[in-house]
Structure 1
Amino acid sequence: MVVPLTVALGAGPAQAASCSATTGPYQKQVEQFLGRPVDGRQSSADCLAIQAFQRKHGITPTLGYAGPLTWQTMYTMYTQQWAGTTPNKAGKCPTNRGRIACVDLTRQLSWIQDGARLKYGPVPVRTGRNGAETRTGSKKIYWRNINHWSTLYNVSMPYAQFFDGGQAFHSVTKSMWNPPGSAGCVNMRPADAKAYWNLLRNGDDVHVYGRKPGT
């Protein structure tokens, strides 16, 4: 049962929100990730910290509950940190093609390598949601448009580099961990999308592998 607690998030009453007083199934893991006391029991302070994380990354409902989606997002962040400076340690992205952009759907990571040498990254990415997955396999960049506008979705796609049908690397302003994901493109933070634009050219290889959690 969820028992709402009213907690002040600012000076005015309009900024108040309801918190879940229920201990979530991933309470201890979430507390540890957020640097909270790890006691496995929900508190109003825990809820505020979880709510702030959920708001930042677009996780709904924003109730401060340590549920599966919140923990999955945090775990993805952990796996990205563990990749360090050797994202291709398992050798799943080809090292015999020269310059190549690698996309690991499982870890929601991308990087550019030249042979076995890391050139940029790894960086977090936001790939296709369930039913609109980013397609796996070996591809090549075939068209680039620095100020692309999608007529299909009526949205801006800065630094767009298309590599498979309508799927492309491009910049977005939302969180890389915002669920459920893109419509198939590989979303990137603006600085990372710009760096990819400067490093890649038409004809460069792209290799997409793995499976995004939840798809």
Structure 2
Amino acid sequence: MSASQTRLDLRIDVFEEENQWAKPLASLKPPELIAATLQEFRELEYLSGEADNYLLVKKEDMAPLDPEEPLQKQLANEAHLVLWEKERPLPNGAKRPSHPLYLRDQAAGRVFKLDWIPAIIGRPDPNQPHDDWLAVNLEAYPTGLRVSRRHAQITEKDGRYFINSLSRNPAILKKADGGETDIGEKPVPLDNGDTVFLERSNISLKFIVRDA
């Protein structure tokens, strides 16, 4: 077998899916293995599908792999890796949520990670206060201009999550149990599996809480 066809036996922890065996080409670079892993585990709703959002680290010491070097130069056979999610820098006045949080676009499958709380849903506007709290930027969507710059925000209190409106642009909270309620100025509980529906833009965002 030529060197370019040599494969490695690797174990990868993909969040709760631990000890997953993979047999990648040794010549692959880490971003290529990440992309293949995301494709393989696409049934995990919180995976974004964008390799740039992740790192591969060695489980033994949590040292990240060099993205520019092939696997064969960095790993022994049967090495154990962990798929690690990158975090964006924390804006001033915000904090990390108690759990990893996501909003998943139900139509396109795009995943927005909520790296901080409060997390604003809307569009960027440098003239608005706390523009850096924008966690879900919908400006590029075909109907994005129907989304308010400050449409809604997600907050946390005593380990529970809430959502409230920041505009008069209608939004509906569709509960996982089938109930519905309008999202107004007063925060309402937001639970795992609930969907935030932005009515005028026809965008549905599923709220996902992942166990840390």
- Alignment TM-score, normalising by the size of structure 1: 0.27
**TM-score when scaled to structure 2?**
0.27
Q: Higher strand proportion, which one?
A: 2
Considering fraction of residues, name the structure with more helix.
Answer: 1
Structure number with greater CO (CA < 8 Å, separation at least 6) is 1
